[in-house]
Amino acid sequence: MIWRFGFCYNTLLRNGKDASKSIKAVLWQVGKRHSQNSVYSYPLRTIAYRRTPMQVATLDQEEQFVKAIPLKWPEFVKDILPTLNPEKHKGQCGRVAVIGGSFEYTGAPYFSAISSLRAGVDMAHVFCEDSAAIPIKTYSPELIVHPILTTFPKLDKTVEETAEYIASRVTEWLSSLHCVVIGPGLGRNTLILETVAHIIEEVTKRRIPLVIDADGLYLVSVKTEMLRNVTSPVILTPNRVEFNRLTRAFEIDDTSDAESLLKTLAKSVCPGAIIVQKGLNDLIAAAFSNVVVHCGEQGSLRRCGGQGDVLSGLMAAFSAWMQLNSNLTTPSEWFIPVYSACAMTRRCSLQAFKKKQRSMLTTDIIEEIWKEFNAVFPLSSL
């Protein structure tokens, strides 16, 4: 009997079962049947699961694959990057949205969305507070900016009714999107957070990959039940402060070591959670894996604001491409786009830092995106 790990796993996910338990059950069966398979003869590109249906994966092989990502990621990513050809039309290389931007913070959603576009997605929307729209539009004519979020309830409606109504105006766009980023510059207004909670529910119901950063993480920390049963990919990108806030909110007091803490947090958030703990090295853990991947790609020494927004934008681009390829993905494959976004952000930061040093700004990092993409993924090799 031939087992297709990817198929089995996705079927389980679609049936809404507990991912971490189910994967072990499937892999255990697979392992028993194919225990004679050598790890070395197994192609580490799990994309091969889709292309060579005879391949199977044991839990050990799955871990080997994830552990190989820091060395092999540019090669793995080639299977996800959309090819460019004259037959394609606008949108086929990805459509993403950033939900964020408020009166105070207009730079963050711009940085995030423009980074996605510079990485190569075709269209980037920003759904922001009405007062943030004009500034964001003036930063860039490339972005599609919707001044939909509001801090005041509609005249004849309660906060809850207004939140539902505004969320419905955003969710009507979801069918055309391949990834949604929640949080850059969102702020913490009660009505806006309530609106975003409704949007998150709809995004995850449709199994669209979700990237949560900044004030979106604050929302997760005050509504810890919000994502509880979500099995679609939810990528959280906390900095140190946001990470500590999350561990407190989820009441995790695992003091054994940093990796265990991260894994416990991922499992507590939801079965589809992938967490990137940003810092000197980025640590990546997922609810469905026992491996913690370290991204130690050299970055910059400068810590100006906005670099996390570049990461969320690149994360959206890689995730959108993954989604476009995702008929039969395995959960572990999600380490590929996540790791790639971390590595590319740090590489772009390093290049910008070499040129501008203490003066380096987030806009300088964005300026490096095209060169770094060409260096790592030259068009001729696609």
Ligand X SMILES: NC(=O)C1=CN([C@@H]2O[C@H](COP(=O)(O)OP(=O)(O)OC[C@H]3O[C@@H](n4cnc5c(N)ncnc54)[C@H](O)[C@@H]3O)[C@@H](O)[C@H]2O)[C@@H](O)CC1
Ligand Y SMILES: Nc1ncnc2c1ncn2[C@@H]1O[C@H](COP(=O)(O)OP(=O)(O)OP(=O)(O)O)[C@@H](O)[C@H]1O
| Binding site feature residues for (6S)-NADPHX | 185, 239-245, 309
Residue 248 binds to ligand X (criterion: CB under 6 A): no
CA–CA distance, 313 with 341 (Å, rounded to integer): 9
Pick 188 or 303: Cβ nearer ligand Y: 303
Secondary structure element (H or E) that encloses residue 368, with its range: helix 362-376
Contacts with ligand Y, 132-171, as mask; x by CB under 6 A: ----------------------------------------
Contact call for residues 175 and 91 (beta carbons, < 8 A): no
Contact call for residues 341 and 318 (beta carbons, < 8 A): yes
Residue 308 binds to ligand Y (criterion: CB under 6 A): yes
| 3-state DSSP percent of the chain in helix, strand and coil, to 5 | 55, 10, 35
Pick 79 or 259: Cβ nearer ligand Y: 259
Q: Which stretch binds ligand Y (CB under 6 A): 13-21, 72-80, 143-151, 301-309?
A: 301-309
Residue 309 binds to ligand X (criterion: CB under 6 A): yes
Q: How far is the CB of 177 from ligand Y (least distance, A)?
A: 22
Residue 107 interaction partner, one of ligand X, ligand Y, none, beta carbon < 5-8 Å per kind: ligand X
Residue 184 binds to ligand X (criterion: CB under 6 A): yes
Q: Which stretch binds ligand X (CB under 6 A): 41-49, 219-227, 240-248, 282-290?
A: 240-248
Residue 204 binds to ligand Y (criterion: CB under 6 A): no
Residue 305 binds to ligand Y (criterion: CB under 6 A): yes
Choosing from 19, 214, 275, 320, the residue that interacts with ligand Y (CB under 6 A) is: 214
Residue 105 binds to ligand X (criterion: CB under 6 A): yes
**Near ligand X in 7-66, by CB under 6 A:** none
Choosing from 233, 299, 331, 337, the residue that interacts with ligand Y (CB under 6 A) is: 299
Q: Which stretch binds ligand X (CB under 6 A): 7-15, 118-126, 233-241, 313-321?
A: 233-241
Residue 9 vs residues 4, 49, 99, 290: alpha-carbon distances, Å: 9, 12, 30, 16
Choosing from 134, 279, 294, 355, the residue that interacts with ligand Y (CB under 6 A) is: 279
Pick 1 or 280: Cβ nearer ligand Y: 280
The three state secondary structure string of 150-211 is CCCCCCCCCHHHHHHHHHHHHHCCHHHCCEEEECCCCCCCHHHHHHHHHHHHHHHHCCCCEE
Backbone angles phi, psi at 256, to 5 degrees: -60, -55
**Near ligand Y in 343-372, by CB under 6 A:** 345-346
CA–CA distance, 286 with 293 (Å, rounded to integer): 10
C-alpha 209 chain-centroid distance = 7
Q: Which two tokens stand for residue 4?
A: 């297709």
Per DSSP, 381 falls in state G
Question: Comparing C-alpha atoms, which of 287, 174, 183, 283 is closest to residue 228?
Answer: 287
Contact call for residues 270 and 231 (beta carbons, < 8 A): yes
Q: How far is the CB of 248 from ligand X (least distance, A)?
A: 13
Choosing from 107, 120, 233, 299, the residue that interacts with ligand X (CB under 6 A) is: 107
Residue 239 binds to ligand X (criterion: CB under 6 A): yes
Q: Which residues pair with 6 in a beta bridge?
A: none
Q: Which two tokens stand for residue 250?
A: 């989820």
Residues near ligand Y (CB under 6 A): 214, 239, 278-280, 282, 299, 303, 305-309, 311, 342, 345-346
> Which residues would be at the binding site for ligand X (CB under 6 A)?
105-108, 184-186, 214-215, 239-242, 305-306, 308-309
